[in-house]
Amino acid sequence: MTLFFAGLALILAGGAGAVILRSRPRLGDALFVLLVMSGAVVSAVPALRVLAGGRVENVQLAAAVPGGPWVFGLDALSAFFALVFLGVGAASAVYGAAYLRDERPHRPVAFGHLLVAILLVSLALVVTAQAAVAFLSAWELMALSAYLLVVFESERAEVRRAGLIYLVATHTGTLALFVLFALWGVHAPDLTFASLAAAAPALPRAGAVVLLLGLAGFGVKAGFVPLHFWLPGAHAASPSHVSALMSGLVIKTGIYGLLRLVALTGAPPAWWGWTVLTLGLLSGVLGVLWALAQHDLKRLLAYHSVENIGIILLGLGVGALGSAYHVPAVAVLGYAGAALHVMNHALFKSLLFLGAGAVGKATGTRQIDRLGGLARAMPVTWVLFLVASAAIVGLPPLNGFVSEWVVFQALLRGGVTTSPLRLAIFGAAGLGLIGALALACFAKVCGVIFLGRARTPLARAPREAPAGLLAPMVVLAVACGFIGLLPVVVVGPALRAGAAVAGVPDAGTLGGVGDVMASVRWIAWSAAALVVTLGAGWMLRAAVLRRRPVRSGPTWGCGYALTSARMQYTASSFAAPLLEAYGPLAGVEAERGPATFATHAHDPVLDGVLERAWGGLQALAARLRPLERGRLSNGLFYVLTTVIVLLAYLVVAARPL
């Protein structure tokens, strides 16, 4: 654990160094990049040791606050999340150093770096804290540093609004967590996780209240439907590397919280599992549907986070059901699939956001329909973006396929049991629907932004992103491909983390789990076969066409000679038939004029429900206003009435103080 903290200290030192050396930006940036990377590597060592089956001693700090000592420790679950957070976090931070370089004249860039360092450290603390007060402190540190990063470009009104909504949402969630631990702590001697776990059997109604509070509190952070309302705005408003951190990592702490909650309470009741599974389906389908409707690249990617949280919840839900119905193999596979998808989503989603940042920097716009044909100007960015897109859609031979496959295994293996658990198999059909919608959405994004011809003239000709932006993206893309080709490397640790959540000591001996480990080899083989045959076929095609006449000409216009780039299908027209089929669910408003047509995407939860509810609340509050006009006599009257009511209550209740 000392080594782990030493690494975190290095990361913090990197942030501090950037601030101290802000008058010499080149040196400061270099120091920041170097220290963050080395800190991540140092901290990764003990985490890797745990995932390899070793043990790391807990650290216990006798804090002078209520709730018992502050304990930090690394079990398989913590280690898995910590590795993801450190690896992807470091890549995003390095990208940030290059991304913010030209913002120096008008923004406190060095403080942005410090905040990123603080955010990374607080993320690592959240997943290693083994006591409630330490956990909540780290949680709050994370929420606040993330807020400050979201409003980094605070001169824009929409950024301030998104930041405010995020702040309100995250604190509402934290409130639920406070209540959760307070209610739980009543039954335990102190608030360390060990004591809480020991007290779990004493919870009334099998911990129903605690589990529901956890679902609400962690759910706001994770951002599943209908608690996702803060997410698209906050992710779209922040600088791209912060979006990557938010979407790739911060929302995953909600998933970590749920997994940790399950690990502490033991097998959750079946209704909780069904709730999570249903929320996962809802989130997955609606998330991708709303993503299809977006015109802003970063908002679109943010809605895909909602979708992927849905897939993660499918795994978590079926895992919880496996625990509830005493099918340990399904439990382990479900939790492991959730954990693995957390890792994979962190990799490809941050890559997508970083790619979106590179596109935004090169073109000055995030509006998909204004772009086109960027593949020629930005070939490297294009290939990286394509890899991430194929990964997020869940296509072989990339990492997204691997984790969806593990979740799929859990759902199918639940289906062939004889308990009510077998109904969970229908979740797999949801996985199919989500995958197909995501395919449509990313075909649209890739095709419209990078392929075809430029739709509108841009302020300046787009150029390939600089190496400082590309290098961290290459690392993330290589990780996506590596996991796709050699899934054995990550499936093992994920199963270990899943077993830690399910409380199964030796998961490898469970029939289903062993079977999955054996089948993972086949995934690797099929991925290799795909890559090799594709390479061979490509060379064969080139060899054949070398001896044939190959001409190039304009695209066939079906007999029409005067085609223009504006005639190309746009993102809106591409998605329109599909969205129309889903009707009002899709959240699209069409605006038809005599010669114009425009569609606007709105969020059915935020704009449809919350804004209206908030408006109603404000109207009610306005009607209460006459009660309080600042008159002293009124105030005295209220105080007196309150005292009398309280006294009357005491008399009636006959309980003297």
Partner 1 sequence: MTPSSVATLGLVLLAAPALPGIAGRTKSFLTGRRGAPVLQLYRDLAKLARKGAVLSETTTAVFRAAPLVGLLTSLLAALLLPFDGRSPVAGFSGDLLLFAGLLALGRFVLVLAALDTGSSFEGMGASREAGFAAFTEPALFLCLLALVLATGELSLGGILGTPLAVAWSAGGPPLVMVGIALFIILLAEGSRVPVDDPATHLELTMIHEVMVLDHSGPDLGLILYGGALKLAVFAALVVGVMVPRTGVSAPVSAAILLAGLVVVAVVVGLVESVMARLRLDRVPQLLVAASALAAFAAILLLR
Q: Where are the alpha helices (DSSP H) in 52-131?
A: 76-99, 109-128
Collapse the DSSP code of 620 into the 3-class scheme (helix H, G, I; strand E, B; otherwise coil) and give the result. Answer: helix
Is residue 562 at the binding interface for partner 1, with CB under 8 A as the rule? no
Question: At its nearest, how many Å lie between partner 1 and the CB of residue 437?
Answer: 5
Is residue 158 at the binding interface for partner 1, with CB under 8 A as the rule? no
**Region near partner 1 per CB under 8 A, out of 11-19, 360-368, 434-442, 612-620:** 434-442
**Region near partner 1 per CB under 8 A, out of 251-259, 274-282, 345-353, 446-454:** 446-454
- Residue from 581, 595, 621, 627 touching partner 1 (CB under 8 A): that is 581
Q: Closer CB to partner 1, residue 529 or residue 617?
A: 529
Is residue 447 at the binding interface for partner 1, with CB under 8 A as the rule? yes
**Region near partner 1 per CB under 8 A, out of 200-208, 214-222, 409-417, 502-510:** 409-417
Judged by CB under 8 A, how many residues of this single chain contact partner 1? Answer: 85
Is residue 539 at the binding interface for partner 1, with CB under 8 A as the rule? no
Question: Residue 443 class from Cβ within 10 Å (0-12 exposed, 13-18 middle, 19+ buried)?
Answer: middle
**Region near partner 1 per CB under 8 A, out of 11-19, 335-343, 544-552, 624-632:** 544-552
Cβ neighbors of 535 (< 8 A, separation 6 or more) are none
Cβ neighbors of 37 (< 8 A, separation 6 or more) are 90, 94
Is residue 569 at the binding interface for partner 1, with CB under 8 A as the rule? yes
**Region near partner 1 per CB under 8 A, out of 183-191, 210-218, 405-413, 584-592:** 405-413
Listed residue (259, 266, 129, 126) closest to 197, CA to CA:
266
Question: Residue 186 class from Cβ within 10 Å (0-12 exposed, 13-18 middle, 19+ buried)?
Answer: exposed
What token pair was written down for 212? 């529901």
Question: At its nearest, how many Å lie between partner 1 and the CB of residue 616?
Answer: 36
- Residue from 72, 135, 193, 405 touching partner 1 (CB under 8 A): that is 405
Question: At its nearest, how many Å lie between partner 1 and the CB of residue 577?
Answer: 5
Chain residues 284-323 in contact with partner 1, contact rule CB under 8 A: none
| Cα end-to-end distance, the chain, whole Å | 49
What token pair was written down for 356? 């979106």
C-alpha–C-alpha distance, residues 429 and 54, integer Å: 38
Question: At its nearest, how many Å lie between partner 1 and the CB of residue 533?
Answer: 5
Chain residues 470-529 in contact with partner 1, contact rule CB under 8 A: 515-516, 518-519, 521-523, 525-526, 529
Listed residue (147, 123, 359) closest to 235, CA to CA:
147
The alpha-carbon radius of gyration of the chain (Å, integer) is 26
Chain residues 258-287 in contact with partner 1, contact rule CB under 8 A: none
Question: Residue 198 class from Cβ within 10 Å (0-12 exposed, 13-18 middle, 19+ buried)?
Answer: middle
Q: Any idea which residue has 């044939």 for tokens? A: 548
Q: Closer CB to partner 1, residue 244 or residue 454?
A: 454
What token pair was written down for 641? 């009435």
**Region near partner 1 per CB under 8 A, out of 146-154, 178-186, 247-255, 399-407:** 399-407
Is residue 561 at the binding interface for partner 1, with CB under 8 A as the rule? no
Q: For 495-520, b where at least 16 C-beta lie within 10 A, e where not — what string? A: bbbbbbbbbbeebeebebbeebeeeb
**Region near partner 1 per CB under 8 A, out of 96-104, 350-358, 486-494, 577-585:** 577-585
Is residue 372 at the binding interface for partner 1, with CB under 8 A as the rule? yes
Collapse the DSSP code of 266 into the 3-class scheme (helix H, G, I; strand E, B; otherwise coil) and give the result. Answer: coil
Q: Closer CB to partner 1, residue 443 or residue 474?
A: 443
Question: At its nearest, how many Å lie between partner 1 and the CB of residue 570?
Answer: 8
Question: At its nearest, how many Å lie between partner 1 and the CB of residue 363?
Answer: 17
The residue type at 210: V
Contact code string over 412-431 relative to partner 1, x by CB under 8 A: xx-xx-----xx-xx-xxxx
Is residue 457 at the binding interface for partner 1, with CB under 8 A as the rule? no
C-alpha–C-alpha distance, residues 332 and 315, integer Å: 10
Q: How does DSSP classify residue 567?
A: G
